[in-house]
Amino acid sequence: GNDRKGERSWRDAGRQDEKTDRTRWRMKNDGGVHTWHYLSEEEAARWPMSRADKWYLGMDTGAPTLPPPKTPLQAATNGFSFFSALQLPPGNWGCEYGGPMFLLPGLVITWYVTETPIPTSHAIEIKNYIFARQHPVDGGWGLHIEGESSVFGTAMNYTVLRLLGVDAEDPRLVKARETLWKLGGALNGPHWAKFWLSVLGVLHWDVVNPCPPELWLLPDWVPVAPWRWWIHMRQVFQPMSFIYSRRWSYPLNDLTRELRKELVPEPFDSINFDARRNTIAPTDNYHPKTWILRVLFWFLAWIWFPLLRTEGLKRRAEEHVWWLIEREDENTDYANLGPVNGPMNTLVSYIKLGPDSVPFKEHLKTLPEFLWMNKEGMLMNGTNGVQVWDTAFTIQAANDCGFTADPKWHKTLTKALEFLEDHQIRAECREQAKCYRQQRKGAWGFSNRKQGYTVSDCTSEGLKSVLILQKHPSGAYPQLVPDERLKDAIDVLLTMQNPSGGCASYEPTRGSELLEYLNAAEVFGKIMVEYDYPECTTAVITGLHLFQKYYPDYRTEEIRRFKERAINYIRRAQRPDGSWYGAWGICFTYATWFALESLACAGETYANSERVRRACLFLLGHQMEDGGWGETYRSCEIGEWCQHEKSQVVQTAWALVGLLEAEYPEKEPIKKGIRLIMERQQANGEWLQEAIEGVFNKSCMISYPNYKFIFTIKALGMYAKRFGDEEIL
Ligand code: LAN
């Protein structure tokens, strides 16, 4: 999805780069835990490549040419033939989950400073990936693969290449340095860049805005206490504050001494680090720090840390944070919440317990679960996979096509059900309250059971998909998830509603939006607390709705009240132009589809609802000449529709699903979009990758490569159900 033009000759140097043999890479799926392995030739001969491996690696999958489809359902059948052949043995689907360009640096710096040997195969392919993602014109890197070059992206990825042995005089690095220096160098980086470079010993800790672990000692009633923050922020802040408190740095060596000269234009000894804590390039300053935060940092840096903080307090704070990190490790079996706190917790266990300790070694074993191989090389995923999420949506898309009733697909769908059964979370966390964890028995997370974090919409989508199969009128599917466990899922969902009626992602909102004044990350927006999301709220509404169809007597009144309040939130969240803003997919097409599904669930359609009509008009107002829809990721950043120059199959499918949910009366515009989806399909049933699909924190994009199958198939099926499976091509 990267359409930059203007290759320059400085990139040609890359042609001599080392490569690994693509035919020797395998993805191992151990009950939903994904790791990549580079095999010896003998091993490779014994372990054949799957079609999925080939597809992940961008190789010819050998998928057969299919009879050319004429109708939507024929196209959906071809699409599902291709996609079902990518199903993995435990029953789930896999994919790269790249996009963010700030994740590998945390991992590679952690490996480097803990002197962990990096397998040659991995080192080679990480370099290849980073070079492949270098901006073709200015030689820098951005926050994400489609973003403009920034200090964060450029300084961090440059550092990784150097740590992995690339020569400073490689023309591609010379070019990157030019861009970095133009942006003012690493001292103009955001907080997280300054943090990691101080860990590495390249910058001095004085340049890092203070992260006091003492915050974790605040009583729970305090409005800013960290347990109230969005889970990703507080789980990152934990290890970050521990490491900050120790001011731990890797001892200076020749390479890091060189990096000081390469990353920073000024002579190192002349730098006043304290004065550079708040300097930041405009490219990195998505959410500028507020004056309140600056005053707070000033107080912490000049008064609290040097003058007031006692040894005893420091020790107590570090001990408590360490205890919380131990709980995180225990409750996730070292998988950890995500790819930022994973490496940081690894480093904390190294600092605290040393290289021979069990936790440190367990972390090293687990970290590779974040890595992924694609045709460009090795990248780091945004989570330890997209297993549950994609599998649940695949079942729903198949159902919208009526494939659930077709014996031809029973095996595939039963496998998918087995996977969901296996990955429902079965028990609460130990010390749940003390480590501030949300209820999770009965929930589904986004990736696998091991990671173990409740997500509101993942729980709902998982529940819906299980119900669709287990309650299928054909009786063709085994009853793998017993009633009790379905009710556990409902119990979790019923804890997820905010006073507003809406639902957030991992937990109900615990703190005030004013906490955004303390957002210190600079590169992201809306990160400090949970918010209401139309996407998550819709999933929960429709999950509760489907459940009630089969279990009308379970917690009836609570569910009814929940749904009513949730729908009212959806109504209120509509923008004056008729759309909804999407926080997890790009952007208005994504959330508007969800909201229309909620309203349909409440009986509101085009025929009887003014707000549904406004939403349809919004969507139709953005339909392109060719019948498709396309918005760029800028929509997410600025909160206004930004037109893509090319229509996108995924957004086209979202918009169509929205119009179909709304029962928009005219067939022609919908048919035009369906035709576009059918025309973009390849002879083997596949759709090709287009622009990036997902987003988080408003500014960072993330890939959902399976969406081009899931939502196209869903739209085709819904169209056929509504208008009949007529010939379109
Ligand atoms: C995700 C991925 C899934 C996503 C959905 C389920 C799609 C959404 O509806 C709810 C939120 C959730 C679970 C989500 C939250 C934030 C995540 C985990 C991510 C976008 C994937 C990567 C991102 C994470 C924060 C990346 C690490 C970066 C930090 C700033 C800590």
Q: Is 140 in the pocket of ligand 1 (CB under 6 A)?
A: no
Report which protein residue has its CA nearest ligand 1's atom 4: 584
Q: Is 536 in the pocket of ligand 1 (CB under 6 A)?
A: yes
Report which protein residue has its CA nearest ligand 1's atom 10: 505
Choose the residue to mutate in 232, 381, 532, 586 for probing ligand 1, maximizing ligand atoms within 8 Å of C-beta. 232
pLDDT at site 16: 77
Report which protein residue has its CA nearest ligand 1's atom 20: 696
User: In angstroms, what is the span from residue 232 Cα to ligand 1's centroid?
Assistant: 8
Distance (Å, rounded) from C-alpha 79 to C-alpha 174?
A: 45
Choose the residue to mutate in 459, 503, 696, 698 for probing ligand 1, maximizing ligand atoms within 8 Å of C-beta. 696
User: One of 53, 284, 390, 457 is an active-site residue; which one?
Assistant: 457
Chain-centre distance for alpha carbon 20: 27
Give me the phi and psi of 287, to 5 degrees please: -125, 90
Residue 1: pLDDT band by 50, 70, 90 thresholds?
very low
User: In angstroms, what is the span from residue 366 Cα to ligand 1's centroid?
Assistant: 19
Residues of the chain with pLDDT > 90, as a percent, come to 98
Distance (Å, rounded) from C-alpha 478 to C-alpha 472?
A: 10
Pick the closest to residue 280 from 187, 204, 197, 144 (CA basis).
187
Tell me the pLDDT tens digit for each residue of 287-340.
999 999 999 999 999 999 999 999 999 999 999 999 999 999 999 999 999 999
Of 11-15, 153-157, 355-359, 716-720, give the lowest mean pLDDT range: 11-15
> What are the counts of helices (DSSP H) followed by strands (DSSP E) for the chain?
26, 8
Tell me the pLDDT tens digit for each residue of 45-95.
999 999 999 999 999 999 999 999 999 999 999 999 999 999 999 999 999
In sequence order, which residues have a C-beta less than 8 Å from that of residue 494 and are 6 or more positions away?
555, 558, 559, 562
pLDDT at 7 over 70: no
End-to-end CA distance of the chain: 27
Q: 457 an active-site residue?
A: yes
User: In angstroms, what is the span from residue 696 Cα to ligand 1's centroid?
Assistant: 6
Mean pLDDT of 116-141: 98
Q: Is 537 in the pocket of ligand 1 (CB under 6 A)?
A: no
pLDDT at 3 over 90: no
pLDDT at site 706: 98
User: In angstroms, what is the span from residue 387 Cα to ligand 1's centroid?
Assistant: 14
pLDDT at site 14: 59
User: Angle at the Cα of 296 (from 292 to 300), degrees rounded to 5?
Assistant: 170
Q: Is 521 in the pocket of ligand 1 (CB under 6 A)?
A: no
pLDDT at site 246: 98
- State yes or no: ipTM above 0.90: yes
Residue 15: pLDDT band by 50, 70, 90 thresholds?
low
Q: Is 337 in the pocket of ligand 1 (CB under 6 A)?
A: no
Pairing state between β 371-373 and 33-38: unpaired
Q: Is 344 in the pocket of ligand 1 (CB under 6 A)?
A: no
Q: Evaluate whether 623 touches 673 at the Cβ level (below 8 Å).
A: yes
Distance (Å, rounded) from C-alpha 588 to C-alpha 577?
A: 11
Tell me the pLDDT tens digit for each residue of 332-370.
999 999 999 999 999 999 999 999 999 999 999 999 999
User: Angle at the Cα of 103 (from 167 to 513), degrees rounded to 5?
Assistant: 140
Distance (Å, rounded) from C-alpha 277 to C-alpha 280?
A: 8
Residue owning tokens 């290449």: 161
pLDDT at site 10: 75
pLDDT at site 2: 45
Q: Is 700 in the pocket of ligand 1 (CB under 6 A)?
A: no
Mean pLDDT of 147-166: 98
User: In angstroms, what is the span from residue 382 Cα to ligand 1's centroid?
Assistant: 7
Distance (Å, rounded) from C-alpha 546 to C-alpha 635?
A: 32
Q: Is 591 in the pocket of ligand 1 (CB under 6 A)?
A: no
Tell me the pLDDT tens digit for each residue of 531-567.
999 999 999 999 999 999 999 999 999 999 999 999 9
